[in-house]
Structures are given as structure tokens and as C-alpha cells.
A = this chain, B = another copy of it.
Amino acid sequence: MVKASILGATGYTGQELARMLLMHSQVELIGMGSNTYAGKKYSSVYPHFESALDLKCSNMQDDALFEKADVIFLALPHGLSVPYAEKALALGKKVVDLGADFRLKSADIYQKWYKTEAARPKLLGKAVYGLPELYRDEIKGTDLVANPGCYPTTAILGLAPLLKNGLIDKKSIVIDSKSGVSGAGRSLKVGSLYSEANEDFQAYGFPCHRHAPEIEQELGNLAGEEIAVTFVPHLVPMTRGMLSTIYASLVKETDTRRLEDLYREFYQDEVFVRVLPGGRQPHTKWVLGTNNCDLGVNVDERTGRVTVVSVIDNLVKGASGQAIQNMNIMCGYKEEQGLNRVALYP
């Protein structure tokens, strides 16, 4: 049994963490850090927690958030995590950071894309990129996990079997991603209003979204050389869900059936990655509320290109669920403990 605090508890990923940790039989949620709502009952900010969670929000400087917890989740905007992570680590606590501050190994690249100073090399060096399917052993041995971004999770899991097996032209990768609106968070922007986002579809983030360098870092690791991708995110009129359609040119001859087998084998021990049988293509709705990543793979023989469709719930495998998966690994629990396996449907 571990005790957990959440800093940035009133954003969407923070409240999703709270919901899931309440369902986790090995976790007691003891602190909810929020400077905006400090002193208020959490269930007055999110009334759906009424009768289920009886904590007040605390100022994030509050020592109790750190001292009484075994695990501290940081669900903060980028650029804010470093001091909280340092404080927690100094106390010997485990930290899972859901933001971007420890994901990029290169301080220069971080500064270029995020326009703010990176963490010191020592801290950066300590952080493990928290994609369990690729870094499970490193996650076991660390106190600081950089939880991956939602877009990178779909892209990396979708491309890993191809890159590891040298099947594609590394210059040919195009990642066309689509996200539900909850990915934009709870901040007030005209574009996030119901009447604006409803019944609308758009591409955004031109010329390049901040998740591009994170994707490239990890694809580069898989390929053993630098990789540049074209990555275009889009906004879908739905609350949750993310789907990436990934295109690449094949350098070896293959077909859909063989590639499906390759993917199944690659992920055979992974409880959260599914390659759907019978040529079925994944739907975002089939993973709603779950920590699953569903994959579909197709060869377009006319053009020699492979298409991979990679699907997650952006707030679960793309954020809070993966954070709990990481915590489970760090704490020695079963990896699927407390994580839903069947989507809320329809």
C-alpha cells in the first residue's frame, strides 16, 4: 500500500489520475495540490467526486503533499515541474511527471521547442522515459519517470516494430494524428468552446508541434540514427480519444498478414497493446477509459507503403493511466493493477 499526492490536481489529467487512484486497491490518495483552488474541497471543483473523495486542495508548497506521500504525481504545465521533482526526490520519494520537462534528453532541444530553461543535466540524466513497453527495466530502477506525451505514445508504439526490424525508409515517415478536445485541457480559449469545436475538424500546430522532437528522440533511439518526421496533429469533435495514422515506405517486400504477425509477436507479452485480429482496424471508442493501445497495420502494395493506425485514450494511456502503469512498475505491483481493460461502450 502506497500513499500518493497529485500536484496540478484540478486539470483534466489530474482529475483522471484521482479517479483511477481511487479505484486502485494498493493506493491511498492523500494530497491534492492546486494553487488556484487551495483550501477548497476537491469535490466543489469537480462535483462528480462528491461522496467519493473527501480531500481539500492544498497549496503546492505545502510540505505535507511531499512528506506524507510515497509517490508524487506532477500534472503541471511545462516549465514548472523541476523544483517540485527536486523537493520530492530529496525526500526519497518516487516521482512521475506527466508534463514535458524531463522527456527530452537534450537540454538544447528542450529549450528550442519549449522556450524555457531545461532541468540540470544531473536531473535529466536520472529521468527515465516512461514508456513501459520499451523501458520497463529502467523504470523499475528509477525514482523519476518522465511520462510520455499522448501523441508520442501512439507514434512510438505504432512504429517500434518497423524500426526495430529495419523495414522502412527512415526519411519517409509521416504521422497524421487526431486528438479529442480534452487534450487542450481546461483553460479558457475561444477555440475550446463547445460552439466552436463542435461539428468542426481542423489541423493545428503548424509548422511543427512540440511533440515532434519527443517523437524523433524515441524513433531515433529505436532506429539507431537520427530521424526527422512530418507530424501534423488535428482536433476531433469528441472529448476523449486519439488516433494516429502513420505512413512509411517499405524497404523490404512484405504483406499485411506478415506484418500483423510481426506486430503480434513484438507485443506478445504486453498486456496493454492489442493487434486486433481479422484485419479489424482500431476505433478510439474501443479503448475509451482503458489503458490500451490498439494497433492496425496495412500494406498498400500499389505504392509500397505501410500504414499503421495507432489508437489510445489520450487521458489514460496518453497520460494518467500510463502514469499509474509506471507507478505500478516502480512500486512492484502488477502492471495492470487498477487499470481498466474494457472500454466504456457505447
Contact = CB atoms under 8 A, between A and B. Distances in A.
Contact of A200 (B201, B284, B307): B284
Contact of A237 (B22, B186, B194, B207): B194
A239 interface: yes
Contact of A342 (B52, B282, B342): B52
A202 B52 contact: no
Given A49-B342, A300-B207, A341-B51, A239 B202 contact: no
A303 interface: yes
Interface string A228-253: 11101010111111010101000000
A340 B338 CA distance: 12
A305 interface: yes
A208 interface: yes
Contacts of A171: 303
A279 B203 CA distance: 12
Contact of A190 (B15, B186, B281, B283): B186
Contact of A181 (B198, B204, B228, B243): B198
A58 B313 CA distance: 32
Interface stretch (A62-70, A89-97, A286-294): A286-294
B239 A199 contact: yes
Given A15-B345, A207-B256, A307 B243 contact: no
Given A203-B245, A303-B230, A287 B48 contact: yes
B199 A277 contact: no
Contacts of A237: 194, 236-238
A174 interface: yes
B232 A245 contact: yes
Interface string A182-204: 10101011101111111111111
Interface of A: 12, 15-16, 18-19, 22-23, 44, 46-53, 171, 174, 176, 178, 180-182, 184, 186, 188-190, 192-204, 206-208, 228-230, 232, 234, 236-241, 243, 245, 247, 256, 274, 276-290, 296, 298-303, 305, 307, 309, 340-346
